[in-house]
Structure 1
Amino acid sequence: MSGLPKGWVETTLGEVAEIVMGQSPKGESYNQNGDGLPFYQGITEFTDKYVIKKTYTNKPTKIVSKNTILFSVRAPVGKVNIVNWDACIGRGNAGLVIRNGNQDFLYFLLKSIERQIQNYTSGTVFTSISGKELKTIPITIPANTEEQKAIAAVLSAFDDKIELLWEQNRTLGTLAQTIFKEWFVRFNFPDKDGKPYKDNGGEMVDSELGEVPKGWRVEQLGKELEVKRGGSPRPIKDYISDSGYRWLKISDATASSSPFIFDIKEHIKKEGLNKTTLLKSGSLVLSNSATPGIPKFLMVESCIHDGWLHFPKTSIFSYHYLYLFFKHIKEPLLQQGNGSVFKNLKTDILKSWNMVVPDTGTIVFLNEVISPIFEKIKNNTAQIRALSKTRDTLLPKLMSGELKVAL
């Protein structure tokens, strides 16, 4: 066939892979306590590559085995992740397994044709795709399975390094949160002899939040730091632009589990600047709408809309401390009052939140301990971005045969 790289063939997805369409079990079988098999209805549990466990079902219907590729068949169609354990899949997913065993190659193939799949047939963007349509999607692949393995090996090397860095970040994030809870919740910060304060008999005094270390106090958050909302020019569609000032959206924060935001997709025109808030790199923001309670550090200058809070002035608290504090209080903060979860975090609720205010020396010591942790997470995140960019540049070239690999 003309135009094909040497040794490559045209075929269909159904010819090279077994495809299992999901079927949702009854809702009463769902649980979060590990009873049964992990259950995947859509992309909620998708990450950069591997799904995580959140929901289970004790009455599984369609079961897929470990290393199956989950493929989203409902909007957004074509997103893929790998499951590292046996699982049940619902109607929002299909499970794919390549017949020749080169599962890594299939994963990268699907990643490379995601946009093609979303626009498959007559240019119409799919909001869903059937099993029959999925099987007939045309693909071009090397006929030689060794070439498939070689392509997958190159791309997997990037993914393995990226996953290692993510794992380091998860470990470091857990370490920082553990230190925070040990020092400021259990009050076992190092005393003058380097021993755990409360467990070593450190003096405690009564407060409205219970016992706290002597010399510490309880104060409303709004009296310890300035809380301000961002702003939005209206109507916002008239100000969105391909260039100009960055425009931070909630989706920019939820796109990555890193505490640091490097990438912001949208921009607004300079004419909208007087109706919004422009923050410098290094600023701490907290989401207060859509997905409220997410703290993030901006690594680039950006404007923020009224779905974000920021903190221009603080008393003794560093942004690192506040990041860990906001992570710690997220759930109780969003479930105030009658127990229902807030969809919007009102500024007044946050300002009136009672917080323990430690002595300045303990805060300074904490910053000395956790600043290197956050610096390492930031550097790892920068490496992940660089590796991902290189991998994403290579992906279409390798998967189209434009760039050949040595066998």
Structure 2
Amino acid sequence: MAQTLYHEWFVKFRFPGHEHTKMVDSELGLIPEGWEVKKLGNYIKTQKGFAFKSQWYQDSGVPLVKVSNFTEDSINTQNLICISEEIAQQYKKHKLDSNDIIIQTVGSWASNPKSVVGKVIRVPRQAQKSLLNQNAVKLIPEIPLNETFLYYLLKRNDFKNYIIGCAQGAASQASITLDSIREFKFLLPSIELLNSFYNLTYPIWELVNNLSIKNISLSQTRDLLLPKLISGEIDVEHLEITTEDIAA
């Protein structure tokens, strides 16, 4: 829903009040009057991930997020490698928060989309307080940009195509620079429209976060109970369970 709203407002230009807005020429084609073509680097800060040493790895502690943990849009938080709290204290600037936006800076070419360089993901709530490992960078939007607008801007095909075009490397691995990200040109709407978009889409993100956490909790409950049900350790003989409707 949030992505569709972004497309309607900022790609098709069907934003509130568009009927009374004049279209004018720009280097990116016809755009609504008052909108401006800007470089992304003027509206973001960046924080690169750190190359944590493998000898620090352990089963518990503060989780590390690697690019291998990235999904299409988020982070798979199952079985994250950890480091000790003591070591983690020295790398607080690499800490992730819920809804942070991350770009993969080293990866494959477009022929392998699962690990493609330039992949953009959003940090789920269950990954907050993790530390970002190397080969990725966190983008921090500055006013007037906000998290939701920046995320859907970077998920568009024009950014994907741009970043692949900027990539360098061998046949098996590609990389992008922070300068390439900063040089990307985009349309900056009015601050009022950006704020309206944020107010409508941020609650959707919060709902996604809440449902994701509930799904994890349900999966853990299933994994705990299912073996006991199969083995007979939990007796369900006297429970009032009606299976007729399920079978139907």
TM-aligned CA deviation for residue 267 of structure 1: 1.1
Structure 2 residue 11 is matched with structure 1 residue 180: no
Opposite residue 219 of structure 2, the aligned amino acid is: S
Q: Which residue of 2 aligns with 1:295?
A: 121
TM-aligned CA deviation for residue 280 of structure 1: 4.3
Q: CA distance change for structure 1 residues 298 and 374 in 2, over 3 Å: closer, same or farther?
A: closer
Higher relative contact order (CA 8 A, sep 6+): 2
Aligned counterparts of 2:79 and 2:105: Cα–Cα separation in 1? 18
SS of 2:14's equivalent? coil
Among the aligned pairs, what percent are the same residue? 25
Structure 2 residue 179 is matched with structure 1 residue 348: yes
Q: Is the 8 A contact 1:180 1:324 kept in 2?
A: yes
| 1:268 alignment partner, one of 50, 65, 83 | 83
Q: Is the 8 A contact 1:242 1:266 kept in 2?
A: yes
Structure with greater proportional helix content: 2
Q: CA distance change for structure 1 residues 276 and 302 in 2, over 3 Å: closer, same or farther?
A: same
Which stretches of structure 1, 4 residues or longer, exceed 6 Å deviation after superposition? none
SS of 2:174's equivalent? coil
Q: Which residue of 2 aligns with 1:247?
A: 64
TM-aligned CA deviation for residue 391 of structure 1: 0.8
Q: Which residue of 2 aligns with 1:335?
A: 164
Q: Which residue of 2 aligns with 1:210?
A: 29
Aligned counterparts of 1:228 and 1:204: Cα–Cα separation in 2? 37
Opposite residue 265 of structure 1, the aligned amino acid is: L
SS of 1:226's equivalent? strand
| 2:134 alignment partner, one of 297, 306, 309 | 306
Q: CA distance change for structure 1 residues 384 and 214 in 2, over 3 Å: closer, same or farther?
A: same
TM-aligned CA deviation for residue 183 of structure 1: 0.7
1:326-354 alpha-carbon deviations (Å, 9 max, x no partner): 2114532343169x997333322211111
Q: CA distance change for structure 1 residues 260 and 231 in 2, over 3 Å: closer, same or farther?
A: closer
Matches within 5 A, 1:105-144: none
Aligned counterparts of 1:260 and 1:363: Cα–Cα separation in 2? 26
Opposite residue 182 of structure 2, the aligned amino acid is: K
Aligned counterparts of 1:237 and 1:368: Cα–Cα separation in 2? 42
Opposite residue 94 of structure 2, the aligned amino acid is: L
1:48-101 alpha-carbon deviations (Å, 9 max, x no partner): xxxxxxxxxxxxxxxxxxxxxxxxxxxxxxxxxxxxxxxxxxxxxxxxxxxxxx
Aligned counterparts of 2:48 and 2:28: Cα–Cα separation in 1? 28
Q: CA distance change for structure 1 residues 337 and 371 in 2, over 3 Å: closer, same or farther?
A: closer
Aligned counterparts of 2:166 and 2:70: Cα–Cα separation in 1? 27
Q: Which residue of 1 aligns with 2:102?
A: 285
Q: Is the 8 A contact 2:40 2:182 kept in 1?
A: yes
TM-aligned CA deviation for residue 364 of structure 1: 0.5
Opposite residue 143 of structure 2, the aligned amino acid is: S
Aligned counterparts of 1:217 and 1:275: Cα–Cα separation in 2? 37
SS of 1:310's equivalent? strand
Q: CA RMSD in A?
A: 2.8
| TM-score normalised per structure 1 | 0.49
1:355-406 alpha-carbon deviations (Å, 9 max, x no partner): 1111100001101211222122112112111111111111222233333443
Structure 2 residue 227 is matched with structure 1 residue 401: no
Q: Is the 8 A contact 1:227 1:351 kept in 2?
A: no
Aligned counterparts of 1:260 and 1:238: Cα–Cα separation in 2? 23
SS of 2:144's equivalent? coil
TM-aligned CA deviation for residue 216 of structure 1: 1.0
| 2:145 alignment partner, one of 304, 309, 317 | 317
Q: Which residue of 1 aligns with 2:38?
A: 219
Q: CA distance change for structure 1 residues 387 and 271 in 2, over 3 Å: closer, same or farther?
A: closer
SS of 1:356's equivalent? strand
Structure 2 residue 217 is matched with structure 1 residue 370: no
Q: Which segments of 5 or more consecutive residues in structure 2 lack a partner in the other structure? A: 108-114, 242-248
* Alignment size in residue pairs: 222
Q: Which residue of 2 aligns with 1:360?
A: 191
Q: CA distance change for structure 1 residues 284 and 343 in 2, over 3 Å: closer, same or farther?
A: same
TM-aligned CA deviation for residue 288 of structure 1: 2.4
Stretch deviating more after TM superposition (357-366 or 220-229): 220-229
Q: Is the 8 A contact 1:285 1:297 kept in 2?
A: yes
Opposite residue 336 of structure 1, the aligned amino acid is: G
